Amino acid sequence: MILLIGDIQGCDNALQALLEAAGFSPSRDQLVLLGDLVNRGPASLATLRRLQALGDAATCLLGNHDLHLLAMASGVRKQHRGDTVAEVLQAPDRDALLDWLRHQKMAHMASGWLCVHAGVLPGWTPAQTLALAGEVEAALRGPDPHAFLQGMYGNTPARWHDGLAGADRSRVIVNALTRLRFCTPQGVMDFETKEGAGGAPPGFMPWFDVPARASAGQPMAFGHWSTLGLIDRPDLLALDTGCVWGGRLSAARVDGGRREVLQVDCPQAQQPGA
């Protein structure tokens, strides 16, 4: 079984319930976590320990909250109101967990599905997406991740072009893979609007609805967009269903030509806006 799982955000009890409902066995099955493993929920430390202990049975993508944790640990960012990752930063196994986290992926291909946390820009092919994700992965795993994290934040450049270099290049890649919701057909990204698909600013649209995007026809799975809700199309899975905000934790089985969506309630849910 290959199971793609939406944003956990530190809701470890919901993750446990989902794995039990799916009949998951780490000796037989594979998980792909679509990012935002931590933060906002009450059990980020338990979540990271559980996923780390699964070893090769779990492939984890990095979402914006996971990168935020790495940036906090590196001294690049301060704790925000509402962050719930202090227990990770104070844990006796902090260094091992953070080292494991920075060795996770930015994009992954699983059973024919291209998996990202947030989105893919219109001009990126699936192969290019994986290659660009690999650039960020190499920087995070390299000898100076602090320098990379220092240059990671910001909303500009707002669109990709192949001539980008240095921090600007990395920033666009990170923003697309971990923050993208709406963009123009030309690939200009919007980072302000967090509403559902119907809330697009003038001239913008959900990234997956851009006509003739270079990744069209490639089955894709993503999280990040809780206000979007579950999307279950033959070639598109949106699996962030707002577990931490009172929604459900969602997963999809995608192996062997079989498609099945599984959802569980979140007993650790916070109130919206918390």
Beta pairing class for 113-116 and 220-222: parallel
Helix (H, G, I), strand (E, B) or coil at 185: coil
pLDDT at residue 257, rounded to an integer: 74
- For residue range 194-225, list pLDDT tens digits in order: 999 999 999 999 999 999 999 999 999 999 99
- For residue range 117-167, list pLDDT tens digits in order: 999 999 999 999 999 999 999 999 999 999 999 999 999 999 999 999 999
pLDDT at residue 82, rounded to an integer: 92
pLDDT band at 267 (very low <50, low <70, confident <90, very high): confident
How far apart CA 98 and CA 253 sit, in angstroms, is 28
Neighbours of 50 (CB within 10 A): 17
Q: Is the pLDDT of residue 272 over 50?
A: no
pLDDT band at 261 (very low <50, low <70, confident <90, very high): very high
Tokens of 72: 């906090």
pLDDT at residue 269, rounded to an integer: 55
**Tokens 């929920």 belong to residue:** 41
pLDDT at residue 194, rounded to an integer: 94
Please tell me the pTM assigned to this model. 0.96
Tokens of 95: 């260094």
pLDDT band at 25 (very low <50, low <70, confident <90, very high): very high
- The H-assigned helical ranges of 142-221 are 145-150, 166-179
Q: Is the pLDDT of residue 273 over 50?
A: no
Neighbours of 63 (CB within 10 A): 31
SS3 per-residue string spanning 77-92: CCCCCCCCCHHHHCCC
Tokens of 253: 């089985």
- For residue range 62-121, list pLDDT tens digits in order: 999 999 999 999 999 999 999 999 999 999 999 999 999 999 999 999 999 999 999 999
On average, the pLDDT of the chain sits at 95
Question: Mean pLDDT, to the nearest integer, of 170-193?
Answer: 98
**What are the sequence ranges of the domains in the chain?**
2-265
The correct answer on CATH 3.60.21.10 for the domain covering 2-265 is yes
Bond prior to 157 in cis (omega within 30° of 0): yes
